[in-house]
Amino acid sequence: MPHHRQALFVVRHLPDHFQTQQGTEFYGQFKTNIKLDRPSNYSVTEKGIKLQEGIPIDNLHDFEKSLDFTFPQDFIELYTKVNGFENFDYNENMFSLWSLDRILKEYKEDGDTNYVSFCDFLINSHSLGFYKDDGRIYKYYNEPEAIADNFQDFILLLNSNDDLLY
């Protein structure tokens, strides 16, 4: 499990009940660094990342049906708070968390109906996502490689800028 460092990612919006082996500080250290700016349909983090407003739970379930895939609960909870980054915005390490619209677009263009990507590195140098028959998170660059056992572990890797992401 990666060490906690100062959070650099959208998951400052993760629900309060997220737990890790390190305890409840997982969410607390993230949620304090958001500066909301509501003149439009997005908020802005202290790092300047524009975040799209969350999606209603019913819309998320409809989205799952359109992909024939059930996202893990922690993914659903995050997307009810934040629907990815605005447009192609990215964090300081060049990772972009996608909106549902972009997830669907990439899913249709990819051609692999068993893989659902939700994030990319360096303007799509490689993607990160789920295989429908496996709850783990994969990095896909030429060949898929499992990098996290679940979505929450992936978020921890992202927050700590772990080498597994690259």
CATH assignment at residue 151: 3.40.1580.10
pTM of the model: 0.73
Instruction: State the pLDDT at residue 94.
Output: 87
Question: Do 102 and 84 touch, CB atoms closer than 8 A?
Answer: yes
* Residue 69, pLDDT above cutoff 90: yes
pLDDT band at 46 (very low <50, low <70, confident <90, very high): low
Range from 68-72, 119-123, 132-136 that averages highest in pLDDT: 68-72
Instruction: State the pLDDT at residue 7.
Output: 30
Q: 4 lies in a domain?
A: no
Q: 3 lies in a domain?
A: no
Q: 1 lies in a domain?
A: no
Could you give the CA distance from residue 158 to residue 142 in angstroms, rounded to a whole number?
21
Range of the domain at 72: 10-165
| β strands within the chain, DSSP E | 34-35, 42-45, 50-53, 82-85, 95-97, 115-121, 126-131, 134-141, 143-148
Work out how many domains the chain is built from and give that number: 1
* Residue 8, pLDDT above cutoff 50: no
Report the percentage of the chain scoring pLDDT > 90: 50
Q: 118 lies in a domain?
A: yes
